Amino acid sequence: MQTADGLAGMKAPPNGAGETREAARIIDAAFGVLARHWTLPQADIGPIEPGFTPLPALFGAEHFLAAMLARQQAATPGLDEKGAAAFFIAEYSNLLGILAAVPFLAHGLVPDLSARNCALSARLTPGEPPHVRLRLLNAAGVGDRAPAQRDGPFRRVDHDSLRGALSEVLEAHMSPLIDSLHARTDLPRRAMWRLVGDAVAMRFLEAGRRLGCEAAAKQDVMAALMRAGSPLANRQLHFFDVEIVDDAPPCRVLARRTFRARGGCCRFYTAPGGSLCTSCVLVKPEDRRQRIEARMRAELGLPPVPTEPATPLDSASRPQGGDA
């Protein structure tokens, strides 16, 4: 894929080792911020070494896909392959989301995270914390604070172009995996892209809170995900605020928090004993808000909001079954 800024088409720099070192320094600084705040994934820059597999080969490997789906099914017995694919896409996209969010928010840069520029080392031993390391094979990317260079591994772009580059590099990273999972499980590509967008949006929100730039994080990630023509774009994904107000005058605002409303569904409800997640796109907005408010009130030590008793008219007009 060739992006407007040439990000996905970048190769090893033609202009000498100095620019390569500077690009690597910038990316390493961003990965350092990531490591200080999050344990997964670990990330670095370097050549392929034993234990690492190039992402295009890994995402197309039957043994890898089978192992990842089996891992999800072991954790959720009875989950079918479509559900396992949805779980895996959500889990992996959470790792990719924070890996993209921190460099963007902390340093104003988008590293070349396209699958062709990445290799992965993953050790998922039962009973032990996972160990996942993503390696960039070349130090390349774009940034709105990058050193001005006419050519080289890094290019300076304006902020709107940086958002576009983020969208395109997420697509370039996830497309091979989504294609492979679709071929194996028949889970629609569109459903998986929605899960990717949900995860990336959540991780940008999380990183924005941690790094002190929540408002900018929300604006940036939504602009990137809703780019015209992108498979990541969907109308249901959005952020919304919930306030908890003191029950007694002067009715002070006790808590206010931003949440992400999902545009996709992880299919947990299809597993034995499963249900719809609070933020699922299939949950009615009012039900979603009530669930979140109840949880926030419990965290604050407040009593639940009293519910009004149903009148005979209410009971007669309610539909039978379903969500009633």
Angle between helices 214-225 and 81-107 (to 10 degrees): 120
The verdict on 116 and 133 lying in the same domain is yes
Residue 133 lies in a domain: yes
Dist CA 7 CA 136 (whole Å): 14
Dist CA 88 CA 86 (whole Å): 5
The verdict on 81 and 115 lying in the same domain is yes
In one-letter notation, the amino acid at residue 55 is L
Strands in 131-136's sheet, in edge-to-edge order, are 42-45, 131-136, 118-123, 53-54
Cβ(262)–Cβ(211) below 8 Å:
no
* 133, β-bridge pairs: 42, 121
| Residue at a domain's end among 200, 233, 266 | 233
Other beta carbons less than 10 A from residue 15's beta carbon: 12
**pTM to 2 decimals?**
0.86
In one-letter notation, the amino acid at residue 303 is P
The verdict on 7 and 92 lying in the same domain is yes
The verdict on 226 and 239 lying in the same domain is no
Given the structure tokens 């070494």, which residue do they identify? 49
What distances in angstroms separate CA 64 from CA 40, 134, 170, 212, one per listed residue? 20, 16, 21, 38
| Residue at a domain's end among 233, 251, 271 | 233
Which residues span the domain enclosing 258? 235-304
Closest of 204, 213, 152 to residue 10, by C-alpha: 152
The verdict on 229 and 240 lying in the same domain is no
Element (H, E) at 134: strand 131-136
Domain count for the chain, please give it.
Answer: 2
Query: How is residue 174 written in tokens?
Result: 């996830």
Q: What is the pLDDT of residues 162-200, one digit of tens each?
A: 999 999 999 999 999 999 999 999 999 999 999 999 999
| Residue at a domain's end among 181, 215, 233 | 233
Q: What is the pLDDT of residues 272-282, one digit of tens each?
A: 999 999 888 99
pLDDT in tens, the chain (324 residues): 333 333 433 344 444 456 678 889 999 999 999 999 999 999 999 999 999 999 999 999 999 999 999 999 999 999 999 999 999 999 999 999 999 999 999 999 999 999 999 999 998 877 777 889 999 999 999 998 866 665 667 788 999 999 999 999 999 999 999 999 999 999 999 999 999 999 999 999 999 999 999 999 999 999 999 999 999 999 999 999 999 988 777 788 989 999 999 999 999 999 999 999 988 899 999 999 999 999 999 988 888 876 654 444 433 333 333 332
Residue 27 lies in a domain: yes
What string of DSSP letters covers 172-212? HHHHHHHHHHHHHH---HHHHHHHHHHHHHHHHHHHHHHHT
The verdict on 146 and 241 lying in the same domain is no
Sign of CA dihedral 291, 293, 299, 301: negative
The verdict on 253 and 160 lying in the same domain is no
The verdict on 163 and 218 lying in the same domain is yes
